Amino acid sequence: MKPNQSKRSNLTRFAWLSVGVAILTIGLKTAAYFLTGSVGLLSDALESIVNLVGAGMALAMLTIAAHPPDKNHAYGHSKAEYFSSGIEGTLILIASISIAYTAIERILNPRPLEQIGIGLLVSTGASLANLAVSLILQRAGRNYNSISLTSNGKHLMTDVITSGGVLIGVGATAFSGWQILDSIVAILVAINILWTGFGIIRNSVSGLMDSALPSVDLEKIDNALATYTKEGIQVHALRTRQSASMKFISMHILVPGDWSVEKGHKLITQIETDITSVIPDSIVFTHLEPINTPLDHEKSVLTEFD
């Protein structure tokens, strides 16, 4: 059964929101840097540029992922989302290296901070905008099972957290007069961004490797099948995989050999309906077999996994 894909064509509105807030925060954080000369605030501005590129990639890949299946892509285009999250993770790694380099250079060549009060105010406004959009994107990512929106939302939340660290660093520098504190915080920001980048890339690679569905989904499948197995129907060769927003589930349904084709077809149609009702955005493949052909069962079990 094919899931309802029409709703996914509307996900680009969230990506446009991310693009808009990225442009806004780039302007605000760059202004804060020029006002204060803080390398910590500069690191924040650089990460916002990565946010913009990531949001642009998310927009492009969500547009592709929303395309319906065609002759050359019979299972749809949902895997396009992994390109978005993978590229965003790579850009985050590059940004972290740039931030660390700039911070080390400032340690070697210190410069006093200026107009700290207004600079912190501007940066705080940018962080609040990122916080609001991050919460919206992460919620949409969970609701629509979109790795692009989830990754973008988590990246923005990391930006909020690191911005808080930068603000603390700038404030500590202003209070203590130790210029090196600003650069130290910037290096810590770079390390935090580096970790986030690795995490996003790891999730993208896992998705491209067609990982099995999480245990919570497998439990839902077992519960949906329990009604039938109690009545003597057997199920084996159950296999699952996650492909971005899509979930693929396949299994063999074993029924008495004297059943008619019509009766067997009616059963598997009901099983598919039950599973897709508890696992949204899923495609279920069922293979009907007579229960009294053990040799065929042994062949199919050879590729089963515990």
What are the extents of the domains in the chain?
6-208, 215-301
pLDDT in tens, 203-251: 777 777 777 888 899 999 999 999 898 888 888 889 998 877 778 999 9
**H helices within the chain, ranges in order?**
12-36, 39-65, 80-108, 116-144, 147-176, 180-208, 215-229, 261-278, 294-301
pLDDT value at position 269?
A: 93
pLDDT in tens, 74-85: 777 777 778 777
The DSSP line for 249-274 is EEEEEEE-TT--HHHHHHHHHHHHHH
CATH of span 215-301: 3.30.70.1350
Residues listed for the chain: 306
Return the residue matching tokens 């901070």.
Answer: 113
The backbone torsions φ and ψ at residue 254, rounded to the nearest 5 degrees and listed phi first, read -105, 125
The fold for domain 6-208 equals Alpha-lytic protease prodomain-like (1.20.1510)
Low-confidence ranges of the chain (pLDDT < 70): 1-9, 38-41, 43-44, 47, 110-120, 162, 166, 169-170, 174, 177, 179, 182, 293-306
In angstroms, what is the C-alpha Rg of the chain?
Answer: 25
